[in-house]
Amino acid sequence: MTIHPIVVYGEPVLHRAADRVTEFDDELRTLVADMFDTLAASNGVGLAAPQIGVGKQIFVYDAEDDVAQVRRRGVFINPVLVGSKVSDGRPDPDAESEGCLSVPTLDFPLKRSEKVTINGKDENGETISLVVEGWFARIMQHEYDHLQGTLYVDRLQDKWKRRWKREQKAEGYNVPGVSWLPGTDPDPFGHGEDDEED
Ligand SMILES: [Zn+2]
């Protein structure tokens, strides 16, 4: 069991498209197992490989699907995501706020697709697929974005973008080399409260 440090906004690997996985071997399966351990220690709902400094198209998730009323835990490798049209208008700060383990302590509202289809491979190279809605669809979009080098704060509407820019400066989330270690460093989102980060 290895818990990896989570890198913070400004680390270059977060801001470039991740590489496709070509070898479905034991090394990959160890990496995926480490990602599940790191996710659990971070109290998050999703974790993408670039967040532990690995520029590969892999993410893991472990969260309640409120719409289907099941807990979903799994991995997507080399995923392709197709989402429904994102509705116009302003995001609801209560119902549509998002956070990210690579942007510690902050959250901002953001509109997302209500429904997504996601196809990819698991750690054994088997084809897998999910069709999900609501909060869980948001998690899938957030993690998929990570593999394209996009973080949710890069998508904010102007009002929230201005707030993010201020916070980014104040927190120093604009330089490489910053990370935190889940389970060792203080939980940046105060685990036990209502927020869920991914
Ligand atoms: Zn994230």
pLDDT tens digits, residue range 169-179?
999 999 999 99
Residue 5 CA, ligand 1 centroid: distance in Å: 14
Amino acid at 80: V
* Residue 196, in any domain of the structure: no
Residue 4 annotated as part of some ligand binding site: no
Confidence of residue 196 (pLDDT cuts 50, 70, 90): low
Q: What is the pLDDT of residue 191?
A: 75
Is residue 182 situated within a structural domain?
A: no
Taking only the tens place, the pLDDT of each residue in 124-147 is 999 999 999 999 999 999 999 999
Q: Which of 123, 143, 196, 197 is catalytic?
A: 143
Pairing of strands 179-180, 127-133: unpaired
Model pLDDT, residue 15: 98
Sequence length of the chain is: 198
Sequence-distant (≥ 6) Cβ neighbours of residue 89 within 8 angstroms: 111
190: in domain: no
> Tokens 């290895």 belong to which residue?
2
**83 CB-near residues (< 8 Å, 6+ apart):** 112, 113, 115, 116, 117, 137, 141
Provide the 3-class DSSP secondary structure of residue 47. strand
- Give the tens place of pLDDT for each residue, 24-82: 999 999 999 999 999 999 999 999 999 999 999 999 999 999 999 999 999 999 999 99
| Residue 100 annotated as lining a ligand binding site | yes
Q: How far is the CA of 69 from the centre of ligand 1 (A)?
A: 23
Is 177 a member of any domain?
A: no
CA distances from 25 to 20, 113, 122, 129, 184 (A): 14, 33, 11, 21, 30
131 assigned to some structural domain = yes
User: What contacts 24+ positions apart, CB below 8 Å, involve 85-88?
Assistant: 85/113, 86/111, 86/112, 86/113, 87/111, 87/114
C-alpha 152/C-alpha 19 separation (Å) is 20
Taking the centre of ligand 1 as the mean of its atom positions, its distance from the CA of residue 153, in whole angstroms, is: 9
pLDDT band at 195, cuts 50/70/90?
low
Domain harbouring 73, CATH code: 3.90.45.10
Of 42, 178, 177, 175, residue with least CA distance to 99: 42
Q: How many domains does the chain have?
A: 1
Query: 64 CA to middle of ligand 1, Å?
Result: 17
Give catalytic status of residue 27 as yes or no.
Answer: no
Q: Say if 185 falls within a structural domain.
A: no
pTM equals: 0.94
The response to whether 15 counts as a known ligand-binding position is no
User: How far, in Å, from the CA of 151 to the mean position of ligand 1?
Assistant: 6
> What pLDDT score does 1 carry?
79
- Indicate whether 197 pLDDT > 70: no
Assign 190 a pLDDT band (cuts: 50, 70, 90). Answer: confident
Residue 136 CB neighbours (<10 A): 23
180 forms beta bridges with 6
Q: Which residues form the domain of 93? A: 6-172
Q: Which residues contact 186 (CB under 8 A, 6 or more apart)?
A: none
Is residue 151 assigned to a domain?
yes
Residue 125 CA, ligand 1 centroid: distance in Å = 24
- Whether residue 164 lies inside any domain: the answer is yes
User: Is the pLDDT assigned to residue 121 strictly greater than 90?
Assistant: yes
